[in-house]
Homo-oligomer: A and B are copies of this chain.
Amino acid sequence: MQIPTFDDMLAAHKRIAPHIRRTPVRVSDHLNDLTGAQLFFKCENFQEPGAFKVRGAANAVFGLEDAAAARGVATHSSGNHASCLSYAAMRRGIPCNVVMPHTAPQAKKETVRRYGGKITECDPSTNAREATFARVQAETGGDFVHPYNDPRVIAGQGTCSREFMEQADGLDMVVAPIGGGGMISGTCLTLATLAPETRVIAAEPEQADDAYRSFKAGHIIADDAPETIADGLKVPLKDLTWHFVSRHVSEIFTASEQEIVDAMKLAWKHLRIVLEPSSAVPLAIVFKNAQAFAGKRVGIIVTGGNVDLDNLPWIEG
């Protein structure tokens, strides 16, 4: 297990700078009034491919030696990592192979293809995915870029908090969603050196609360097949991300499906930002645990905005 360092993060930021956006930080007086906190939203939904995962993906892609790069990259993902890795590979002009269950939404497949990614479909089971991925990787020799349990990816995600601390002074805490833990790990990596007094809080769906239960138990607990609208957060922690979560995260809070949807609506109403459900979990837990955040300067990482506007999950319409 190779733990990425603060210097890896600095090197990543230099490497990926031409390929990412320094996304804006937004505030809403009205959300501050409603929560009693001072909220700062780092809008990673405004990355070109719509999610923070372009940071880690670009770090992996542009860190490859030319010979390895020529063989391309490969991953399995049906979410933002697949499109962000395709995007980064397109910018370097190398192949990107993605293994995806045939049940993945058509829109996700289209995005990957728009960025030149090649999709190999598999049955929607872990066994099928692993077998198909092994075959694809053997055929192509592509460098495997795991969606989160990869030191290059974690170092890349850490660049977000570095910008955030430059853009918003003196944050008492930074809140990010937790699924596999890539963004949270990058946040821990950066803040542990840059702002050790700033607490890192993770936000997780109640219905996929394996990180919460792992955190309380002191070891990784992986759920089999959690069901939540926050579809980016269904995956379990792995050794590298557990390293950061277990050492640097101050607290994990969870939110219900309804609370996640309510947060999406509030963010639209008061920030004019459409969050994907996974991105709405931090705001949901801030509302739910107001006493923990009142009077604090709270940074929230808006991880992505890839949602289908024609099919918004407004439960109460």
* Complex interface bits, A300-314 against B, C-beta within 8 A gives 1, otherwise 0: 000001000110101
Q: Which of B45, B272, B314 contacts A45 (CB 8 A)?
A: B272
The residue on B at minimum CB distance from A87 is B29
Report B-chain residues with C-beta under 8 Å of the C-beta of A28: 48
* Complex interface bits, A27-54 against B, C-beta within 8 A gives 1, otherwise 0: 0111000000000000001101010000
Q: Is A274 part of the binding interface, using a Cβ–Cβ cutoff of 8 Å?
A: yes
Check if A268 sits within 8 Å of B46, measured CB to CB. Answer: no
Q: Bound complex: CA of A46 vs CA of B45, how far in Å?
A: 15
A140-177 residues with Cβ-Cβ distance < 8 A to B are none
Q: Which of B46, B268, B274 contacts A26 (CB 8 A)?
A: B46
Q: Bound complex: CA of A271 vs CA of B48, how far in Å?
A: 8
A-B pairs with lowest CB-CB distance, top 9: A24-B24, A272-B305, A45-B272, A29-B48, A50-B272, A268-B309, A46-B272, A274-B274, A309-B312
Q: Bound complex: CA of A24 vs CA of B45, how far in Å?
A: 14
Q: Is A218 part of the binding interface, using a Cβ–Cβ cutoff of 8 Å?
A: no
Check if B30 sits within 8 Å of A48, measured CB to CB. Answer: yes
Report B-chain residues with C-beta under 8 Å of the C-beta of A24: 24, 26
Report B-chain residues with C-beta under 8 Å of the C-beta of A305: 272
Q: Which of B46, B271, B272, B314 contacts A310 (CB 8 A)?
A: B314
A150 to chain B, nearest CB (A): 25
Write 16 A-B pairs (CB below 8 A) sorted by A numbering: A24-B24, A24-B26, A28-B48, A29-B48, A45-B272, A46-B271, A46-B272, A50-B272, A268-B274, A268-B309, A272-B273, A272-B274, A274-B309, A309-B312, A310-B312, A310-B314
Q: Bound complex: CA of A144 vs CA of B226, how far in Å?
A: 58
Q: Supply 18 further A-B pairs (C-beta < 8 A) apart from A26-B46, A274-B274.
A: A24-B24, A24-B26, A28-B48, A29-B48, A30-B48, A46-B272, A50-B272, A268-B274, A268-B309, A272-B273, A272-B274, A272-B305, A274-B309, A309-B309, A309-B312, A310-B312, A310-B314, A310-B317
